[in-house]
Amino acid sequence: MRDPLFEIPCLTIDGRQTTLGDFDAKALLVVNTASQCGFTPQYKGLEALWQRYRGQGLVVLGFPCDQFGHQEPGDETQIATFCERNFGVSFPLFSKVRVNGGEAHPLFAELKKRAPGLLGSKSIKWNFTKFLISDEGRSVNRFSSRSAPEALAARIEASL
């Protein structure tokens, strides 16, 4: 039986309905992103991970979020254009989501439950928090905004 995590509906940045289960992946790296954040240059590292490991089964998924310091003010078209033009992002992007509070996207609610933050915190502290999902959802690891994408390479390799 498929893990329910893979059945949660998500909306791509161009408005198509999908789920994590629609991606042919051995591991997924889910990241809440923003275009005007001090961590925005991590898009480059995320794209590098995508390019390096996609042939082995990694899928990087970016979920823009405007919940922290109004650092993702644009609409979906502006976000997609910014990411491609400035960082060459080719990995899948999604429509803007909320990651905390009562209106948090169900995907992030579930990820926070499965992989709490420091000292068991359920909330996401800032943009570019990363969740590595592997082993068909049985393993979910959380990495802070300060974790550079390239620092996740060994964990990704172990998941593939």
Per annotation, catalytic residue among 10, 37, 65, 83: 37
The model's pLDDT over 67-121, given as tens digits with 9 standing for 90+, comes to: 999 999 999 999 999 999 999 999 999 999 999 999 999 999 999 999 988 777 8
Place of tokens 């309905």: 17
37 classed as catalytic = yes
Segments forming the whole domain that contains residue 33: 4-159
User: Can you read off the two tokens belonging to residue 6?
Assistant: 């893979």
pTM of the model: 0.96
- Are 143 and 132 within 8 A, CB to CB? yes
Quote the number of domains for the chain.
Answer: 1
DSSP 59: E
DSSP 128: T
CATH of the domain at 41: 3.40.30.10
